[in-house]
Structure 1
Amino acid sequence: MKIRVGYEMIYDFPQPTPMIMVLGTHFTRASDVIVPDHLTTSPSVPITPYRDGFGNWCSRIVAPAGRLHLAADGMVRDSGLPDVVVPSAIQHAVEDLPADTLVYLLGSRYCETDRLSDDAWRLFQNTTPGWPRVQAICDFVHGHIAFGYEHARATMTALEVFNEGKGVCRDYAHLAIAFCRCMNIPARYCTGYLGDIGMPPPWAAGDFAGWFEAYIGGRWYTFDARNNIPRIGRVLIAQGRDASDVPITQTFGPNTLVSFRVWTDEVKEGA
């Protein structure tokens, strides 16, 4: 299947303002890209690309004073299959984990493992290690949090989500990640495109999505505590310890987001 992905964001800046963006399809999907979703700006400004410490491609600009239009419109090839499910995937002993996964056992800005450890062990110590344990965490988080955009808060942490029982997709991911790490399972935050392909209507308005990956069975597997079912057409943009590592845009000065639109649409064959 082919999926059209893209976005349009309009900002107002009172003064020239540095800006970092993490917006392109992840390099692990490079072979699937049919039409690159290159970032464009209006007015045109110099764009400097770089790779961050997690391997994500990022872009730097200095936004001019006034209105700035950011956009991309690309197309990727996808298997059309739902997220992989491997119930037999084992949990690794910490001493057997690859060195590059260890950072994803540690606490981070939005995932306070030290403050959630007792609750995690109380809730999940009797679950079967490996895939069943991660799925039990997703089941709990999915049922514990009430979804609503009105609950979104930029400072919301996993502990606050646990205590308040409400949030948006990134909050589901943060709480599940924190619980996994407390149970000695490496877990990392993912951001990307996720439309409603294969889902019955009514369909939600387009948006970027947050989910997570857990390292079990010798590789990283996708989990999504918000939806809690395998989904079709997930297009990764970036990975990090939590959302603080992979904000879609990071501005270094005052601004107003005037307009925001995202699309993730299946393209019928022959189109």
Structure 2
Amino acid sequence: MNNITRLRCDLEYAIHADTHFCFNIQASRRDDQRILDESLVVTPGIQVRQFEDPNNGNRFFRCDGIPGTLKLRYDAQIEMLRSSPDSSLQESSITEMPNEVLHYLLPSRYCQSDVMSRAAQHLFSGAPRGYARVQHICEWIRDNIAYQLGVSTPTTSAQDVYLQRAGVCRDFAHLAITFCRALNIPARLVVGYVHFNDPPQDFHATFEAWLGGRWVMFDPTHLAPVEAVVRVGNGRDAKDTAFATMFGSVTMTYMHIQVNHDGQPPSENPDPIEATVQRLVMA
């Protein structure tokens, strides 16, 4: 695989009433991925305010929209520097964990590790500790949870997924995070871009577990290699990592994502966003 990834994200919304938007679609700046070039196009030309989450490094931009149409295009060229995970990594004792990692042991909105503790202990307490146990969690989820579009909603939790035995990438990651936390392994959600053959391209959710004193990425869907995931953001669960949050009345009318791991530029979409718009180039 080429270590240069080029991606494009097109979003379009019909705004029915004055609305404030907060987006999290830009690649994060990290040691394991280097942004070579990026641009953000917004139609119409409205003021955009950018800020960064100091806790997670997620990059956000905000804007106000009036009734009509809002279109976004984000292009980026990323050099991927992430290596394959080390399967010998071991779990850390709680006393060894850094202060900033501890809250990833606690239950959160979509990851009720306290409620799921008995199930996690029953299924995984006997598995070899460390990387192998987290990998075993991923394998159990792949074997027992069907990847099925349309069965979950924005409020679906890990417990819901465990009971209904179906979900999408976000649901798979939430369940894995929940099992890990119930076993005293800190875990957090990661969202980003990656190319996979089926289903159609979308934002993709994986997760990281704290092993050997570092964050290690896993993908319980097994849709793509974790080395190829261009990270946009991470957090306790989907509450911290939504790609779009709207305060008002809107309808998404179009989304198209392209991810090329061979370094080739994205092709034009069937309904491309007009080029004669405000262009913001990030340093």
Give TM-score scaled by structure 1 length.
0.91
Alpha-carbon distance between aligned partners in 2 of 1:162 and 1:57, rounded to the nearest angstrom: 32
- Deviation per CA, 1:191-218, whole angstroms, max 9, x where unpaired? 000103xxxxx55421110000000011
Equivalent residue, structure 1, for 2:47: 46
Q: 1:62 to 1:76 in 2, by over 3 A?
A: same
Q: Report 1:29-178 matches (<5 A).
A: 32-36=34-38, 38-52=39-53, 53-79=55-81, 84-178=84-178
* Matched residue type, 2:59: W
Equivalent residue, structure 2, for 1:218: 213
Q: CA deviation at 1:57?
A: 1.2
| SS at 1:192 equivalent | strand
- Deviation per CA, 1:82-137, whole angstroms, max 9, x where unpaired? x6232210111111111111010000010001110010001111111111111111
Q: 1:189 to 1:78 in 2, by over 3 A?
A: same
Runs of 5+ unmatched residues, structure 1? 197-201
Query: How many residue pairs were aligned?
Result: 263
Equivalent residue, structure 2, for 1:259: 254
Q: 1:120 to 1:228 in 2, by over 3 A?
A: farther
Q: Percent identity?
A: 30
Q: 1:12 to 1:269 in 2, by over 3 A?
A: closer
| SS at 1:85 equivalent | coil
Equivalent residue, structure 2, for 1:199: none
Q: CA deviation at 1:231?
A: 4.3
| Counterpart among 13, 16, 28 of residue 14 in structure 1 | 16
Alpha-carbon distance between aligned partners in 2 of 1:171 and 1:270, rounded to the nearest angstrom: 31
* Matched residue type, 1:21: F
* Matched residue type, 2:204: A
| SS at 1:100 equivalent | helix
* Matched residue type, 1:41: V
Contact 2:102 2:186 in 1 (8 A): yes
Q: 1:229 to 1:248 in 2, by over 3 A?
A: closer
Contact 2:21 2:63 in 1 (8 A): yes
Q: CA deviation at 1:269?
A: 7.7
Alpha-carbon distance between aligned partners in 1 of 2:60 and 2:22, rounded to the nearest angstrom: 7
Q: 1:134 to 1:229 in 2, by over 3 A?
A: farther
Runs of 5+ unmatched residues, structure 2? 267-283
* Matched residue type, 1:35: D
Alpha-carbon distance between aligned partners in 1 of 2:265 and 2:192, rounded to the nearest angstrom: 26
Q: CA deviation at 1:40?
A: 2.0
Q: 1:90 to 1:153 in 2, by over 3 A?
A: same
Alpha-carbon distance between aligned partners in 2 of 1:267 and 1:228, rounded to the nearest angstrom: 17
Q: 1:29 to 1:45 in 2, by over 3 A?
A: farther
- Deviation per CA, 1:227-270, whole angstroms, max 9, x where unpaired? 17744521000000001101000001121110111111134589
Contact 2:217 2:226 in 1 (8 A): no
Give TM-score scaled by structure 2 length.
0.88
Contact 1:110 1:157 in 2 (8 A): yes
Q: CA deviation at 1:55?
A: 2.3
Contact 1:41 1:70 in 2 (8 A): yes
- Deviation per CA, 1:156-193, whole angstroms, max 9, x where unpaired? 00000000000000000000000000000000100000
Contact 2:24 2:60 in 1 (8 A): yes
Alpha-carbon distance between aligned partners in 1 of 2:107 and 2:203, rounded to the nearest angstrom: 24
Alpha-carbon distance between aligned partners in 1 of 2:263 and 2:195, rounded to the nearest angstrom: 15
| SS at 2:195 equivalent | coil
Q: 1:203 to 1:228 in 2, by over 3 A?
A: closer
Alpha-carbon distance between aligned partners in 2 of 1:210 and 1:104, rounded to the nearest angstrom: 17
Q: CA deviation at 1:29?
A: 5.5
Equivalent residue, structure 1, for 2:279: none
Alpha-carbon distance between aligned partners in 2 of 1:67 and 1:229, rounded to the nearest angstrom: 34
* C-alpha RMSD of matched pairs (Å): 2.0
- Deviation per CA, 1:49-77, whole angstroms, max 9, x where unpaired? 11224221111111221111011112112
Alpha-carbon distance between aligned partners in 1 of 2:163 and 2:216, rounded to the nearest angstrom: 27
